Structure 1
Amino acid sequence: MPISEKFESVYSHEWEINFLQCTPNGLLKHTELCNLLQLTAGYHAEMGGLSFTDMQQHDQAWVLSRMRVEIDELPKWRDIVTVKTWIYDLQGSRSIRALEMYLGDKKIAGSETFWAVFNTKLRRPEALALPHEHFEKYPERRATVETFKKVDISREAALHSERTVVLSDLDIVFHANNVKYLEWCLDGIDPKPILKNKLASFDMNYMRELMLGDTVEINKGNDDGQDHFT
């Protein structure tokens, strides 16, 4: 697809929160927050000629590698929110993208994401084949207080559950979508703090893809009151 006449390097998209996206307390689910961020990034890429369809001409797609999300407040059912996004850096096979969610003029959440260009036939990273110079980069415009970081997987953890990847877990790249990992982890947390909106931030690292039929162990630990999963 050609670059849209409406393309801008900082993109905004409005969303209305519907009841299917909410937990029983009427607030947006954390997984749905991530879905809205991912969809907004996708729309921006599409307007700039870097959509999934564009990249599939070269057997490429964007896949999420790391993500940090910081939450001050969650929107509720029927709220209209605005998600803004821009790119910190894009070179070779990797891109760092920022996202913010606003309720009116108030910023309520921010995220920093690290994406890799993935060859969907060879199932490995490679350099982006499409031009991106028209995307202005904003390395100093930060969306989070802390940057994403490598999650320490050496911490003590015990087997919590097992999952087998099923059809509903898969996305268009034919692997488990990144939000599914978060969903599996949140299902292993005491729901009371979640429903009281006590989850202020989380970090995720994606180390390898999961395919249909793969069975994985989910291990859980707790350090200083913070849950962690592998």
Structure 2
Amino acid sequence: MPISADFTSIYNRDWEIDFTQCAPNGMMKYTDLCNIIQLTAGYHAELGGISFTEMQQFSQAWVLSRMRVEINRLPKWKETVTVRTWIVSLENSRSVRALEVYANGEKIVGCETYWAVFNTDIRRPEALALPHEHYVKYAEQFSTAERVRKIMLFETVKTVKKHKVVVSDLDIVNHVNNVKYLEWCLDTIDSQILLHSRIEAFEMNFMKELTLGEEVLIEEMKTDNNPVFSISRDGKSCFALELQLKA
């Protein structure tokens, strides 16, 4: 669709947290937090004419490459939160987008995401085919204390789980949805870390796509404090996750 009359370069969207998005402690699941963050980015792209629908005219889609989330506290059941987003940079095939989550005017979550334009026919990155000059880029306005970065993986790993990709893992681009990688890893850790909301930040790197029927290993790297996970296929890492835990 064309650029909406309601388009602004900084976009806000309200979300009411329902019970399906919450863990037994009444706090929002980390995976559902990532979902509303990415859905807000999607709505902003739609208003600005660079959404999945428009991009598919050129066989293109946005795919997430890196994501960092810093959490002061999680949203909770029945709370209405506001997700705010803007573009930090957008050049050729790459874009950095910032997002923040507010509750009662207080910032409770910061997130930085790094996206690539992906050709869905040849499965390769390429320059965005759509105009984006109407988006103001806020090159010095960041949402996190630390920027997205590459996670360093270790040679010594322990396989904690095996998984075969099923239909419910897939999204509209016909590959595993990025939140699924996070879900697979979090399902392997001590439940008390999740139920006591001990994750204060996490970093994710998406390196290779996964498709239906592929078999992967979920691996953990032992560290002194912050757990690091890798999801690999045929000996090659497809995803990395680093958790930063509260003491």
Which band: TM-score by shorter chain?
Answer: over 0.9
Q: Would the alpha carbon gap of residues 17 and 222 (structure 1) be closer, same or farther in structure 2, given more than 3 Å must change?
A: same
Give the RMSD, CA atoms, in angstroms: 0.7
Q: Give secondary structure in 2 for the equivalent of 1:200.
A: strand
Q: Give secondary structure in 2 for the equivalent of 1:223.
A: coil
Match of 1:151 in 2: 151
Larger mean CA deviation between 195-204 and 152-161 belongs to: 152-161
Task: Assess if the C-alpha contact under 8 Å between 2:163 and 2:215 holds in 1.
Answer: yes
Match of 1:170 in 2: 170
Match of 1:161 in 2: 161
Match of 2:197, as an amino acid? N
Match of 1:109 in 2: 109
Answer yes or no: is 1:217 the counterpart of 2:217: yes
Q: In 1, distance between residues paired with 2:184 and 2:155?
A: 19
Q: Spell out the pairing of 1:120-199 with structure 2 (5 A cutoff).
A: 120-199=120-199
Deviating runs (4+, > 2 A) in structure 1?
none
Task: Note the C-alpha offset of 1:157.
Answer: 1.6
Task: Note the C-alpha offset of 1:193.
Answer: 1.6
Match of 1:24 in 2: 24
Task: Note the C-alpha offset of 1:100.
Answer: 0.3
Q: In 1, distance between residues paired with 2:154 and 2:76?
A: 37
Instruction: Give the number of aligned pairs.
Output: 230
Q: In 2, distance between residues paired with 1:77 and 1:66?
A: 28
Match of 2:223, as an amino acid? D
Task: Assess if the C-alpha contact under 8 Å between 2:154 and 2:221 holds in 1.
Answer: no
Match of 2:238 in 1: none
Gap regions ≥5 residues in structure 1: none
Q: What does the per-residue CA deviation read over 1:60-109, in whole Å, with 9 as the maximum and x for residues that have no partner?
A: 00000001000000111100000000000001000000000000110000
Q: TM-score, normalised by structure 2?
A: 0.92
Match of 2:30, as an amino acid? H
Q: In 1, distance between residues paired with 2:154 and 2:9?
A: 39
Task: Assess if the C-alpha contact under 8 Å between 2:117 and 2:125 holds in 1.
Answer: yes
Structure with more relative contact order (C-alpha pairs < 8 Å, separation 6 or more): 1
Task: Note the C-alpha offset of 1:130.
Answer: 0.2
Match of 1:87 in 2: 87
Q: In 1, distance between residues paired with 2:71 and 2:184?
A: 19
Q: What does the per-residue CA deviation read over 1:137-189, in whole Å, with 9 as the maximum and x for residues that have no partner?
A: 00111100000110112253211111111000000000000000000010011
Match of 2:6, as an amino acid? K
Match of 1:101, as an amino acid? V
Task: Note the C-alpha offset of 1:218.
Answer: 0.8
Q: What does the per-residue CA deviation read over 1:23-67, in whole Å, with 9 as the maximum and x for residues that have no partner?
A: 000000000000000000000000000010000000000000001
Q: Give secondary structure in 2 for the equivalent of 1:136.
A: coil
Q: In 1, distance between residues paired with 2:148 and 2:155?
A: 18
Match of 2:86, as an amino acid? W
Percent identical:
58
Match of 1:40 in 2: 40
